[in-house]
Structure 1
Amino acid sequence: MTTTAGAPATATTRRSFWSGLRKARELPVTIALVVLVAATYLANPLFLSPQGTKDLLLNATIMIILAAGQTLVIITRNIDLSVGSILGLVAFMTGSLFAGVEGIPIWIVFAAGLLFGALLGAVNGLLVTLAGVPALVITLGTLYVYRGINNWWAGGTQYFADDRPAAFGNLAVDTVLGFPIITLIAIVVVVALAIYLSGARSGRDLYAIGSDPAAATLFGIKVNRRVMFAFLVNGLLAGLAGVLYAARFNSVGATTGTGMELDVVAAAVVGGVAIFGGSGSVVGAALGAMLLTTITSALTAVRVDKFWQQAIVGVLILLAIVIDRIAAVRSARKLRLSEATR
């Protein structure tokens, strides 16, 4: 009796699993990533050499952290275009601290970067929630304000790898189980945010706000507080990315982080985060970041012109938005049909 009763339940669970897997927004980008890596490896076997694999992970690390933070903001039907400028400011601050304060502990530099990034993110959140102006407009303004501050502060000064402690630079060199240390930090960030969004009530509130802000307010969700928190965490993670950028690259200066904001938004959208808010995941955003950075590396490996690299990324963004819109229209149609048949 137990076996007979258990069989249908097992079959139902199995069907439910495969059905859920097919509907997962992360599945298309995962398949695209696997196909891209396999095709590039066939064209150039050195692409997946130990050093090649390490470079792939390192190239994606900063973008993964930024895309994960951006996901929190986009889910609430907002956007933050200032993350590249925040990264640049924090990266230059990191170089300044190591060059100006002899023997400063690395953990203090990390703490300062996180706090500085959180402060800049909080400014964005306050302006968006208090002024009631669209986040696109606010963060476009702070993009230029933060970039201007960095240009004034840095001027023509640049800090190089020799200005930092060897232990700090080794974060992008040393590996654990084949993963660079800074990549492991990015993985921890993604896992922590994924658990928060799925398991914490305040995390689920972000989805409710993005789906329908007015309804979220009626249900008692403190919309402004949640949006403010999303911007603050996004700034904090941009600060973390800025510190890791200083560890990863040979120099930081006034132009560090310029133009990264559009790549970050692209990574989130390609990874299945709905640009109109209410759906998506940090895992998908991380996969989107991996896909975009891998595309650049793959096309470089097969010697494709940089213009075509940018064009392909643009096509991916358009496809992701169109697919997301089609999925939203289909979901709305199914909802209307189900209500009509009741």
Structure 2
Amino acid sequence: MRFLTQREPQLALVIVLLVLLIGWRAPVFLSVDSFTNVLTDSSLLIMLALTQMLVIVTRGIDLSVASSLALSGMLSAMLVAAYPGTPLLLVVLLAAVTGLLCGLVNGALIGLLNLPPIVVTLGTMSIYRGLVFVVSGGAWVSSHQLPKDFLAFPLETMAGMTNLFWIATGAVLLFWGLTRYARFGRDLYAIGNQPASARYVGVPIKQRLVLVYALSGLVSGLAGYLWVARYAVAYTEVAYGFEFTVIAACVIGGVSIGGGVGSVAGTVLGALFLGVIGNALPVLKVSPFWQSALTGAVILAAVVINARGKGHGARQILPVNLSKGGAA
């Protein structure tokens, strides 16, 4: 039973108990369709939380994810509204490149110029959100302006699950392999655990920071298209404030804001926890405004738990003598 002392099994157990409790109050929540909706609605959050996890692991933060998502989604929607025959692959490519460029700006300012991540991404969050208004003129792109193939892709099903779910599943597997087996992932944990020691053993810190923020932007860009197509509308306040939900999923999943600690499994469970809450409130006929209060309370509880267990979940990347002694 030792595994029950670990964060991920505990959180998984909490989610199961929460689902059963909600199902006791509203049996419809235990239906297959309800579970499918939870997984579909959590997919974008999972994707964004995974990249945010990598950023936070390096002792950074990316507050611009929702704004770059909105910008990418708006540009892709405007493209197909103006040119309905545009191939879907080109639309997705535009969204991805837009997000990638946003991420590269963050990465260059943080990694190359050594500016504080929270200041940089707070600034770019406002810039990217402002650009959404500039390029659209404040106008909406509604569902009747969007081609059917543009709207259909995220919710098309394969083996009973939506494409959104399968894309998120692919992202989970990719990030699991990245953090477990790739040098890039190990370097990020090394930077978060002991930056001086990481530099001493030759970790290219600047390049890694540029890449991790670029990756965050790339995924945000892809999520921009998926979000707009999923909800069939693009407007200036798309995903407004969603960056805090993304960060909340990470913190609830055991990612340490201090860096160096975090897992793919915990992050996914954190996102699913919020997904369950978000889908349960309408079923229980609870005002959605309570979701913010409840999420905030859960974040505070998670921070307290993380602080009390600080260091227990850290990954040992560097040799013991280096990580203890540091380097000049």
| TM-score normalized by the length of structure 1 | 0.88
1:119-198 alignment, distance < 5 Å = 119-198=101-180
Higher mean displacement: 128-137 or 300-309? 300-309
- 2:281 corresponding residue in structure 1: 299
Write the distance in 1 (CA, Å) between the matches of 2:199 and 2:7.
27
* SS of the residue 2:260 aligns to: coil
After the TM superposition, list the runs of 4 or more consecutive aligned residues in structure 1 that deviate by more than 3 angstroms: 329-332
Q: Cα deviations across residues 149-206 of structure 1 (Å, max 9, x unaligned)?
A: 1111122311122222322322233222221111110110111011011001121110
- 2:290 corresponding residue in structure 1: 308
1:217/1:223 contact within 8 Å kept: yes
Task: For residue 324 of structure 1, report the CA deviation from its aligned partner.
Answer: 1.1
Write the distance in 2 (CA, Å) between the matches of 1:205 and 1:102.
44
Counterpart AA for 1:116 = T
Counterpart AA for 1:152 = V
- 1:26 corresponding residue in structure 2: 8
Unaligned runs of 5+ in 1: 1-17
Q: Does 1:215 align with 2:180?
A: no
Q: Does 1:103 align with 2:85?
A: yes
1:93/1:113 contact within 8 Å kept: yes
Write the distance in 1 (CA, Å) between the matches of 2:220 and 2:312.
35
* SS of the residue 1:156 aligns to: coil
Counterpart AA for 2:282 = T
Count of aligned positions: 316
Counterpart AA for 1:270 = I
1:68 maps to which of 42, 50, 67 = 50
Write the distance in 2 (CA, Å) between the matches of 1:237 and 1:278.
21
2:84/2:147 contact within 8 Å kept: no
Task: For residue 329 of structure 1, report the CA deviation from its aligned partner.
Answer: 6.0
Write the distance in 2 (CA, Å) between the matches of 1:305 and 1:27.
30
- CA RMSD, Structure 1 to Structure 2 (Å): 1.9
- 2:40 corresponding residue in structure 1: 58
Higher mean displacement: 307-316 or 139-148? 307-316
1:155/1:254 contact within 8 Å kept: no
2:84/2:146 contact within 8 Å kept: no
2:17 maps to which of 6, 31, 35 = 35
2:71/2:132 contact within 8 Å kept: yes
Cα gap change, 1:330 to 1:161, in 2 (>3 Å)? closer
- 1:225 corresponding residue in structure 2: 207
1:44/1:302 contact within 8 Å kept: yes
Cα gap change, 1:39 to 1:324, in 2 (>3 Å)? same
Write the distance in 1 (CA, Å) between the matches of 2:94 and 2:57.
27
Task: For residue 102 of structure 1, report the CA deviation from its aligned partner.
Answer: 3.1
Counterpart AA for 2:305 = I
Counterpart AA for 2:166 = L
Percent identity, aligned pairs only? 37
2:81/2:147 contact within 8 Å kept: no
Task: For residue 78 of structure 1, report the CA deviation from its aligned partner.
Answer: 0.2
Write the distance in 2 (CA, Å) between the matches of 1:251 and 1:307.
22
Cα gap change, 1:93 to 1:325, in 2 (>3 Å)? same
Counterpart AA for 1:323 = I
2:109/2:120 contact within 8 Å kept: yes
1:58/1:172 contact within 8 Å kept: no
Task: For residue 247 of structure 1, report the CA deviation from its aligned partner.
Answer: 1.4
- 2:317 corresponding residue in structure 1: none
Counterpart AA for 1:274 = S
Write the distance in 2 (CA, Å) between the matches of 1:205 and 1:239.
24
- 1:15 corresponding residue in structure 2: none
1:90/1:239 contact within 8 Å kept: yes
1:67/1:282 contact within 8 Å kept: no
Q: Cα deviations across residues 265-300 of structure 1 (Å, max 9, x unaligned)?
A: 001111111111101122321221111121122122
Task: For residue 110 of structure 1, report the CA deviation from its aligned partner.
Answer: 1.0
Counterpart AA for 1:67 = A
| TM-score normalized by the length of structure 2 | 0.91
Which structure has the bigger radius of gyration? 1
